Amino acid sequence: MRDAGSIIVGIAVAIAWWLLWSSLLRAFGIPLLQRNAQDRASRRERIKQLGKFRYILLFGVLGFGLAFGLGITAADFVWRDSFKWRYELPKLAFLSIAFGLFQGVRNWSEAFRDPIPFPPNYPPQN
């Protein structure tokens, strides 16, 4: 039962961070969930102006990566009897960066790839 409680606490902490992070982004004029196509198009252009590195840092590492790292750290805090910050802080940093980079690069490549015509237009060969 203790394992289930730690998982629930970890998920709750991750969701709480994600909600706090999305409200901070909304305060700076970058809402995450858009309602109509025009808002989504303007958001896409603003994100393209940020660039790939800033997008990965802002949305990947500070958003989903930190939520994942905080969730795992909170679950360990509840589950373990011997919780030591000197072991958990490097793990939090590693999980946040690793998961955030993966998520940010994946989202960037899916959201901003240029469409490829089918069938591809190959140059004429001699």
Write the pLDDT tens digit of every residue in 44-60. Answer: 777 788 888 888 888 88
CA 33 to chain centre: 14
d(CA 44, CA 38): 10
Which amino acid belongs to residue 84?
A: K
Pick the closest to residue 68 from 56, 60, 77 (CA basis).
60
56: which 2 tokens? 């990965």
d(CA 67, CA 14): 4
| C-beta of residue 96 within 8 angstroms of C-beta of residue 68 | yes
Percent of the chain predicted with pLDDT > 70: 87
Which amino acid belongs to residue 89?
A: L
Per-residue pLDDT at 99: 93
In this prediction the pTM is 0.76
Pick the closest to residue 72 from 6, 1, 4, 2 (CA basis).
6
Write the pLDDT tens digit of every residue in 76-95. Answer: 888 777 678 888 899 999 99
How many residues in the chain? 126
| pLDDT tier for residue 12 given thresholds of 50, 70 and 90 | very high
| pLDDT tier for residue 13 given thresholds of 50, 70 and 90 | very high
Query: Is the pLDDT assigned to residue 96 strictly greater than 90?
Result: yes
